[in-house]
Amino acid sequence: MEKLTLIRQPIEKEFLLYDRLYESTLRSENALLNEVLMHTAHHRGKQLRPLLTLLAAKICNPVTEKPLQAAVALELLHTATLMHDDVVDNSPTRRGGPSVPALWTNKVAVLVGDYLLAKVIGITADIHNGRILAIIAHLGQMLSSGELLQLHAGGTMWITEEQYFKIIDQKTAQLFQACMEAGAESAGCTQRQRTALREFGRLFGLCFQIKDDIFDYSDSEEIGKPTMNDIRDGKVTLPLIISLQRAPQPEADRIRMLAEALANHDEKVDTAKAEEEIKSFVLCYGGIQYANQQMEQLRTQATALLDIFREPVYPPEVAAMHPSPKQSLLQLLNYAIHRLY
């Protein structure tokens, strides 16, 4: 988290204001609701979404109340969708701790998620900006559409690279895109600036999801979620898609058989051995390497988008101590690609 603390420097004061507003929004007189909300408040992850929202605002103009409200609304929407996702995926963990359905029930998770979505509507209405309302409404539609697309992609778990990118664009990239666009809109950025920041957010989100999918083949305990979880859920991601394309047909067919057995929870298959065989297969045929190359290409595109923003002219020693919002966005992009968990 030390790296993120440094990245946050240009908006440190604004982020503290956001944090207070977010926590005040979660308070409730309903005992059960308050208990669940406090649990979510203590497991908020890396806070990349409000960080992007506020940096997108400040790269254009000073941050006012509206970007703070937009950041809270988007984070609440994200939290609500995670609760619903944990129900859909039957996930026992979230961000290194127990998920809401695991601690309480699926019913509680769905209802609290619905409560948060209603809060999002109220906060967005208070901003009095129709464009931001449209951004958040569109995001809600895209997140649900992405989940459904992944759930029923062609009636099979075996998707193409093109289908994969369409799914992660809707499931993940649209969220980061909305954060950047809402931050820019709430700060009164120009149309040219809004367009650049919006696309930067989308490319950032693609990188972030590809990196998450690489983690599914990791043995690290720091990741905060079970590895090989995607395969067990019947989800095929970029490293495996590419490896299957590159491998000889008989070997690819065997891996498909093992993956389907894991997804169907076939008790005849040794789960641990099957998972290790799939991991070795992906490493052997360069699936991880290809995914990393894709992230680097996306990073290059995203970096170029910020060329329209001028850097303040400081002596090198001053610039190192006081990074600009632009520098922080670029550092955050590098962090998303090179993070260890």
On whether residue 135 sits in a domain, the answer given is yes
Domain coverage including residue 70: 2-220+309-338
Residue 317 has pLDDT above 80, yes or no: no
Which range of 2-6, 164-168, 197-201 scores highest in mean pLDDT? It is 197-201
Counting Cβ atoms within 10 Å, is residue 44 exposed (0-12), middle (13-18) or buried (19+)? middle
The residue that leads in pLDDT, 308 or 314, is 308
163 and 154 Cβ atoms separated by less than 8 Å: yes
Structure confidence at residue 323 as a pLDDT band (50, 70, 90) = confident
pLDDT in tens, 245-254: 999 999 999 9
- What residues contact residue 291 under an 8 Å CB cut-off, 6+ apart? 210, 213, 214, 238, 239, 242
On whether residue 250 sits in a domain, the answer given is no
Residue 223 has pLDDT above 80, yes or no: no
On whether residue 113 sits in a domain, the answer given is yes
On whether residue 143 sits in a domain, the answer given is yes
Percentage of the chain lying above the pLDDT 70 cut: 93
Structure confidence at residue 41 as a pLDDT band (50, 70, 90) = confident
On whether residue 199 sits in a domain, the answer given is yes
Residue 243 has pLDDT above 70, yes or no: yes
Structure confidence at residue 63 as a pLDDT band (50, 70, 90) = very high
> What is the model's pLDDT at position 220?
58
Question: What predicted TM-score, i.e. pTM, was given to this entire model?
Answer: 0.91
pLDDT in tens, 188-208: 999 999 999 999 999 999 999
3 state DSSP class of 25 = helix
Gap between the Cα atoms of 45 and 95, Å rounded: 6
What single-letter DSSP state applies at residue 225? S
Quickly tell me which residue has 């769905």 as its tokens: 110
> What is the model's pLDDT at position 1?
53
> What is the model's pLDDT at position 320?
55
- What residues contact residue 218 under an 8 Å CB cut-off, 6+ apart? 227
237 and 248 Cβ atoms separated by less than 8 Å: no
**For all residues of the chain together, what is the average pLDDT?**
90
> What is the model's pLDDT at position 153?
60
> What is the model's pLDDT at position 289?
96
On whether residue 302 sits in a domain, the answer given is no
On whether residue 204 sits in a domain, the answer given is yes
CB atoms within 10 A of CB 176: 26
Q: What is the mean pLDDT of residues 94-113?
A: 90
Residue 321 has pLDDT above 70, yes or no: no
CB atoms within 10 A of CB 218: 15
97 membership: H or E segment, kind and range: strand 97-98
Among the listed residues 170, 175, 285, 184, the one whose alpha carbon sits nearest the alpha carbon of residue 238? 285
How many separate domains does the chain show?
1
Q: What is the mean pLDDT of residues 270-287?
A: 95
On whether residue 290 sits in a domain, the answer given is no
Of 40-54, 71-85, 220-234, where does mean pLDDT reach its minimum?
A: 220-234
CATH number of the domain where residue 195 is located = 1.10.600.10
The residue that leads in pLDDT, 254 or 222, is 254
